[in-house]
Structure 1
Amino acid sequence: MPDWLCPCAIGFVFSVFIIASFLVYSGLFSKVVVLTGSPPIKKVIIVYKFIQGPYKNCGHVFKKSQSIGPTLPCIGVFYDDPKKVPGPDCRCAVGSIVSEGENKTPEDLLQKYITSGFSVFSFPEVTHVVTASFPYRTCLSIVLGVTRVYPQLTQYIKERRLCAHPFIEVYRAGHIQYIAPLARQGDFYVPEVRPLSTHKDSLSESDVSGAESNSECSLGSGVALSDSRESSLNRSSVHSNPPRASYERQSRTRRPRSKELSWDQHGRQEEREERLCEGESIQKNQEVSTQELWGVVGEEE
């Protein structure tokens, strides 16, 4: 064996040991427990920047927020599922928690955030959330948390047919807290997102008492499935299919009506050509002709 091989082998083994130790310390084998219950945070006031694009690009905003308030917990609110929504369309709000519960927000610190381009918003305290936690010891903990926690969160929500959104991450005290509200979800959508999700949120803003629920939603999108939509489609399909007797009467009278309408339309067309200067009368004749035409088309269908 060459003399140089032993030092290289020892160095390789040592490097592998360091990397493995770093992964374990970052939370590679940490147990993930998903629960339903009270939220780990109370009513909070946050400062944030809205970002649309791949979630991996929001790291610089976390760093900027932490540089202004290094002792404050960081927060990220993610509104879209990156597995279902293209990266450029994903939306999130990233920043820091400046006040929680009854604590007052330091005005000077708040002004620093506003000067740096951050916006201010508040989240309510809700009664029930889906939550989990993961160690926050290194930057690698964030990546490991995404790969290990989110699959269990989504599986937990899917199995219990819960409507939980958006996904919130809070970084503090050596832990990353993952939170998905089960009530008042619309209050967790910042103004930049609300114009696109006001109707979606109204479908799902209902309290959920416990883990068992019959509500469904598209995870990360805030879209709740509603029985009213299905029932309205059923009603429309019933009305669009007339009874057989009615259909036979329509088929017997279909051709005469079409001829009558054709002559009537021809006469009206000549009348319109003769009275081009009378705009109001022309508009009325067009409306009447259009209504009659659609009536015949509806009967033919």
Structure 2
Amino acid sequence: MTEFLAATDLRHACELRAAHPEATLLAGGTDVMVGLNFGHRSATALLDLSRVPELREWSRDGDTITLGAGVPYTRIVAELGGALPGLARAARTIGSAQIRNRATVGGNLGTASPAGDALPPLLSARASIELASVRGTRSVPAREFFLGPGRSVLAADEIVTAVRVPVTVGEFAKLGPRNAMVIAVASVSVTLDPARRQAGCAVGSAAPTPVAAVEAEEFAAAELDRDGRRELPAPAAARFGELVARATAPIDDVRGSAGYRRHAVAVLARRTLEWAWREHRRNRGGAGR
């Protein structure tokens, strides 16, 4: 028999987590319940976080969005498309409308799947993950959160409470048999921050964890111009794709071969950089003038 625990606020959630470190956390339940129903996982206890109000809000402070771990993807699409366009585009590809009404970024982080659609946008934007327990709170860079498939730095008594994401120009692309309701064969997120002369890029479904393409980021950052009037040279976009593909470590599985994934990542990376660059120029008044 599975014990069901329901937290009413964040303090209560941390207390229940400390008392039941073996409990499986339940946010939207779109991954956990499927696993339980199909017998892919078992749980002696479920800790429901869906009623915790602190996890279901977001706020903006200057150029940073603090997004509660329990904010569903439907709200991210509706309310944060302008501030976090890359994450919002990823959210649009997640499951059906019913799934997006339930699924959360906190759930994606908790399962730590290398194919989690929301994860590359967090890495590319250099987001940080806020964790809480009865011992206190701490912040972990998204790029240091994942340890392997299904594994993260989250301690047994901790809960993901929020992500802090810089406001940047961002794009996301995902390859699969269809646009949504499918596990990605590969996904790529690109962010541009010309004011800081900084670019970000991360890849999903092409390594044991979501990975940042650091060499490609440095290359793209060197190409950035602050006024946004210069077009992106085609050879630069192609080179960027090559560097992103080099950062991956794909495997052969039922969804695609390693070679196919590596090629797909290069193509997706080139396209997402071109899209982000176009948006950067539009914002700076350099396109269509």
Higher RCO (CA 8 Å, separation ≥ 6 residues): 1
Please tell me the TM-score bracket, short chain as reference: under 0.3
Using the size of structure 2 for normalisation, the TM-score is: 0.24
Indicate the structure with greater strand content: 2
Indicate the structure with greater helix content: 1
Task: Say which one has the larger Rg.
Answer: 1
